[in-house]
Chain A
Amino acid sequence: MANFKKLIKDIFAFKEPKPQEEFILKEKESEKIDDVSNKNEKSPVKEKKGFIRSLFTRSSNDEKDSGSSDKKNNKLEKMVYVSKDITENIDYLKKRFSIPTNGDIVLREFDILVKDKTISACLIFYDGMVNGMLINLNILQPLMLLSNLDIKDKGTENKNISEYIHKNLVTHNQVKVSREFDEIIDEINFGGCGVFVDGIDIAYACDVKGWQHRSVDRPNNEIVIRGPQESFNEVLRVNTALIRKILKDEDLVAESVSIGERSKTPCSMLYIKDIANDSLVNEVRRRLENIKTDYIFDTGELEQYIEDNTIMPTPQIIATERPDRVASMLTEGKVAVIMSGSPFALVMPTTNNDFLQSAEDAYVRFPYANLLRVMRVIAIFMSLLLPGLYVAITNFHHEMIPTDLLFAIEASRERVPFPSVVEIIIMEFAFELIREAGLRVPSPIGPTLGIIGALILGQAAVAANIVSPILIIVVAVTGIGSFAIPNFSLGFSFRILRFVYVFLAAIAGFLGITFGLFVQSIYLCNAKSFGVPFMAPFGPKTNSGYEDQFFRAPIWKQENRPDFLNTKDTKKQPKISRQWAKSDKKRGK
């Protein structure tokens, strides 16, 4: 009784809300630095205000200024040529590859012995992307061991030492010699091994690509017709390599984080250094580092630890098994988390629209992609509302059924003993049951069992006058609609909400459904995923970044990154990305 009293009191009595730190995605790097320096002066309320205001009213000039100053800060001085001094090279490499933080890069320092002379050298490569044996046998071995052998051609002794190493020492088939740092680094990003030797101003890039091929499988859940057919597997480094293979950008940072006090499961947090918003990266890192649990096994668990709202039916983090999808979202400025032992990567922050998109949208041509999008939205509304609408119309709004259809429904329901709500709940339940059972049944009989079960069940239920045939159509269309939703979790959320709408429709017809839609939209508009409003860019209208939201603009028109992500670099491509079109015109004139 006391408990009950307390419960009632809890519900109706007002309690002062606990001050809760809420993360909101910061707009600009420069602003953020300001905030830090002025932290003591500025109240948190003001900070928030500044942020939200900046979300809506932003001047592009500001943005550009801060963007360029960013680059200066981050990149320091850029080395164009390889230095003669190896320590300088190593320092630069460390900076360039963010070496202590970036976990999958290997920088190996060693000495080459030439005639009692010790020349220090180093090689650098991405772990997981290279074939280790090749490096051992063909690069390290000759340099470290064979360099001391007598060299027959004495004439070359005084010649260029770099030529000597290239021609005589490195016993590898593909070696690129270059003075330019960028060329070497590009090669490293693509699975090469960079070799730097003290005293010479050139470096070698050996092609030792050796990432895992065999274990990389076709995606099982996110199947596309057009586009890459790879999916993640359970090996962390293979997964990072899969992404790196697609992006080939040294600014892509794979920070290592380990989660689980006992398990210390290695995770990799990926982001593109000069695109992703720093505060977003910091927030993801903060959430990841502050998980206190013993063991963690899968990103599915991780998702639940770091998401904003547990009760909200809609997922707030996207889980995907496609490296290309992760890569494309990283280029938008999002952050991905890959976990050892899980073939699903988490990408955050996520907005409502991300769930409506499939990887294929980007790969098929513009008209096809938009057809798919429209179909998908219709499918979503069907899977969410159709049973509810059926109940509402047949119970409250008969007049809007066309006469012929009304008579058909009436005739088919004539012998059914249940009210239509009960009828639809029975069928929906049966459908969910078949779906779940079909999933758990051993794979060879699974799909057949599902289909046959559904068919026989439907057929028999109609024959036995338990449900009306029109209702079977409604349930079946709803089911098909829910399969057309590209995201598994989102489909789940609609499966739950569908029942809510059936109840609401049974209570008050269209009024109930409207009430549900209203409350749902309030709820969704209120939600945030890592500081980004969930319904962005529609919930709060943002200025740009509509090119790939509800409809997809032609690819050459997608110039901006989504505004709500507040990326450091807002442009994806210049105004005219198809330069040939421009030059052609000029030629024509």
Chain B
Amino acid sequence: MGSKAKKPFIVIVAFVMCLSMTGCFDKREVDDLVNPIAIGFDKGEGNSIRMTLQIAIPTKVAGGGDGGGGGGGGESVSFTTVEAPSIYSGLNMINTYVSKQLNMSQIKVVVFSEELAREGIEKYINALIRGREFRPNSYMLVARGTGNVAERYLRAVEPELESNPAKYYEMVLSAYRYTGFSANTSIINFYKNMVSESTQPLAVLADISQFENSDDINTDNSTYREKGRDYPLEGDFKAGDMPKVGTIKSEIMGLAVFNGSKMVGEFDGEETQLQLMLEGNFGYSFVTIPDPLSADNVVPLNIRQNRNPKRKVEIIDGKPNIKVKVFLEADILSIQSGINYESIDKVTILETSAEKFFEKGLMRMLKKTAQELRSDTAGFGKEMKGKFFTWDEWTDFKWIEKYPDSKFEVEVDFKIRRPGLMLRTNPATGTEEGEQ
């Protein structure tokens, strides 16, 4: 094995060489960096963008140093807005006056203003995907309204349950698993759908609440009238329109629908739930349906999707014919009218009415995507893709252009599994007042 003394010598010399070569090039201490947690893009003058960074202040967030104890001592975030021709030039500008180097690896959400989104955001998405520091898992948001809405939205985010706004974003944007009012719109998904020939991207809608106090609350902006309902259900809103007041101003509800990289329309909460059902991503959620036998009352149900939907696409006369069957299960949460829907014979009434309700909603939503938005949000093109053998045949088929002519057949399979803790609603007993 050679002369024994030489071996370690070489190793040591090599190490010394190695050490002398190094300047610890990439070494950056944690406290030399500043971590923005959200980034917003608004339309600037001409071609430029107005970029807003929400920066967490670690000492405030983590309560470290000697300032600890009272966590609510001050603002845990700071904001800065800059107008720049591109994302990276903006970052460079910010770096000049923020004392620490920006590190984008903790960015949780990317917010685009509606104006920018309607113009097309392809160039920004490409920049975000190409950059190593931006996370492909960050959420895509579109802020509704005109003007600097992205900045307005970010400034309105004031988490109360968390000291760390990053956690707020993570929690609130993963809430779709139990509300169904938003969706998982990570940048990577957005990008994949944007360049895909078979489906179209979506982004979560965000806005700040328009009501200052309870007296102002109205449902003028609700979509219930378009749907032909007498009163709004919980899904008939979009972000910002929700009839609510409170210290939490920021709202997330509904989806922005894109065609290519351009925003073309919006989904409200209910349509978002239906969109999730079509994708098979609907977790569980409380859904209210009208009582089939008593018009004034509603039946709230806890709905789950335990099986993926069956989706089928056929081409009839050059036009796509899309068949969907959605499987839903539900637990009864309450029956306002007190009608005994729990019983074997009456449960089918509720089930068929729920099936009708969802079928109607799905039909309306699909027609809207095809005719109004002309965007295949549910990705039926993916089913179509399998019918082709080679890629060229598929791209020549031009699904995206054919989709608006689609015909739809929707079927919902709805089963009520459990009635909750009560097997029957007992009516309240008491004397009727006013008779005497």
Contact = CB atoms under 8 A, between A and B. Distances in A.
- The answer to whether any beta carbons of A and B sit under 8 Å apart in the complex is yes
B61 A407 contact: yes
Contacts of B106: 399, 403, 406
Most chain B CB within 10 A, of A22, A398, A403, A409, is at A403
B103 A415 contact: no
B65 interface: yes
Contact of A411 (B3, B58, B133, B167): B58
Interface string A1-25: 0000000001100010110101000
Q: On chain A, which size bracket covers the interface?
A: 35 or more
14 contacts: A18-B3, A396-B27, A398-B33, A403-B167, A406-B106, A407-B56, A408-B62, A410-B33, A410-B62, A411-B62, A420-B29, A507-B24, A509-B26, A519-B11
Interface in B14-45: 18-19, 22, 24, 26-31, 33, 35, 37
Contact of B26 (A311, A396, A409, A411): A396
Contacts of B135: 399
A404 interface: yes
Nearest to A20: B1
B9 interface: yes
A411 B9 contact: no
Interface in A386-439: 394-396, 398-399, 401, 403-404, 406-416, 419-420
B64 A406 contact: no
A394 B33 CA distance: 11
B69 interface: no
Given A15-B3, A398-B103, A411 B164 contact: no
Interface in B56-101: 56, 58-59, 61-66
B123 interface: no
Most chain A CB within 10 A, of B10, B58, B63, B167, is at B58
A413 B2 contact: no
B65 A414 contact: yes
Contacts of A302: none
A401 B105 CA distance: 10
A503 B24 CA distance: 11
A419 B29 contact: yes
A413 B30 contact: yes
B295 interface: no
Interface string A297-335: 000000000000101000000000000000000000000
A442 B13 CA distance: 42
B33 A395 contact: no
Contacts of B11: 519
A228 B324 CA distance: 73
B3 A395 contact: no
A559 B157 CA distance: 67
B339 to A, nearest CB: 49
Contacts, number: 107
A20 B5 CA distance: 13
Given A17-B2, A411-B64, A414-B64, A398 B166 contact: no
Contacts of A15: 3, 6
Nearest to A505: B27
A503 B63 CA distance: 31
Contact of B58 (A20, A311, A396, A410): A410
B108 to A, nearest CB: 8
A462 to B, nearest CB: 11
Interface of A: 10-11, 15, 17-18, 20, 22, 309, 311, 394-396, 398-399, 401, 403-404, 406-416, 419-420, 503, 506-509, 519, 526
B246 interface: no
Q: On chain B, which size bracket covers the interface?
A: 35 or more
Given A399-B105, A411-B61, A411-B65, A406 B35 contact: yes
Contacts of B108: 403
Contact of B29 (A394, A407, A503, A526): A394
Interface of B: 1-4, 6, 8-11, 13, 18-19, 22, 24, 26-31, 33, 35, 37, 56, 58-59, 61-66, 103, 105-106, 108, 133, 135, 164, 166-167, 170
Most chain A CB within 10 A, of B26, B28, B58, B64, is at B64
A409 B30 contact: yes
A415 B24 contact: no
B18 A507 contact: yes
A507 B59 contact: no
Contacts of B27: 395-396, 506, 509
A506 B24 contact: yes
A11 B9 contact: yes
A10 B13 CA distance: 12
Contact of B1 (A17, A412, A416): A17
B103 A414 contact: no
Q: 5 closest A-B pairs (Cβ-Cβ)?
A: A411-B64, A399-B105, A410-B58, A411-B62, A411-B58
Given A411-B63, A415-B65, A506-B24, 13 more contacts: A11-B6, A17-B2, A395-B24, A401-B30, A403-B170, A407-B58, A410-B33, A412-B64, A413-B30, A419-B29, A507-B18, A507-B19, A509-B26
Contacts of A407: 35, 56, 58, 61-62, 164, 166
A139 B10 CA distance: 68
A401 B35 CA distance: 12
Contacts of B18: 507
Contacts of B33: 398, 410
A419 B8 CA distance: 30
A10 B6 CA distance: 8
Contacts of B164: 403-404, 407
Nearest to A408: B62
A24 to B, nearest CB: 12
B170 to A, nearest CB: 8
A503 B1 CA distance: 28
Contact of A414 (B4, B8, B59, B133): B59
A388 to B, nearest CB: 14
B63 A404 contact: no
Contacts of A506: 24, 27
Nearest to B135: A399
Contacts of B2: 17
Most chain B CB within 10 A, of A20, A395, A411, A420, is at A411
A560 to B, nearest CB: 30
